[in-house]
């Protein structure tokens, strides 16, 4: 649902963590989004930390389980 709405994984993850309404506010503020679709800056510390941790886990998963798009385990 959130990916279908925002079309970017990090934006969808941010909305999951904080709220859709908050992310929409950030996307409509040029301080946080240049194009209204991606976030260049996330003002909420908890959401920034959540995304950092989540992306680290995603990177680990990809490196551990996939090479060239193929499962290695």
In tens, the pLDDT along 45-67 reads 999 999 999 999 999 998 888 87
pLDDT at 69: 67
> 32: number of CA atoms within 13 Å, CB side?
16
pLDDT at 34: 96
Average pLDDT across the chain, whole number: 93
CA distance 72 to 32: 38
Structure tokens at 45: 């510390």
Match 């680290």 to its residue by tokens: 56
pLDDT beyond 80 at 71? no
């Amino acid at each position: 649902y959130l990916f279908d709405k925002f079309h970017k994984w990090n934006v969808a993850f941010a909305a999951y963590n904080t709220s859709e309404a908050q992310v929409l506010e950030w996307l409509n503020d040029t301080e946080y989004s240049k194009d209204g679709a991606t976030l260049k800056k996330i003002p909420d510390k908890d959401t920034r930390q959540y995304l950092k941790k989540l992306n680290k886990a995603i990177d680990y998963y990809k490196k551990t389980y996939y090479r060239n798009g193929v499962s290695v385990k």
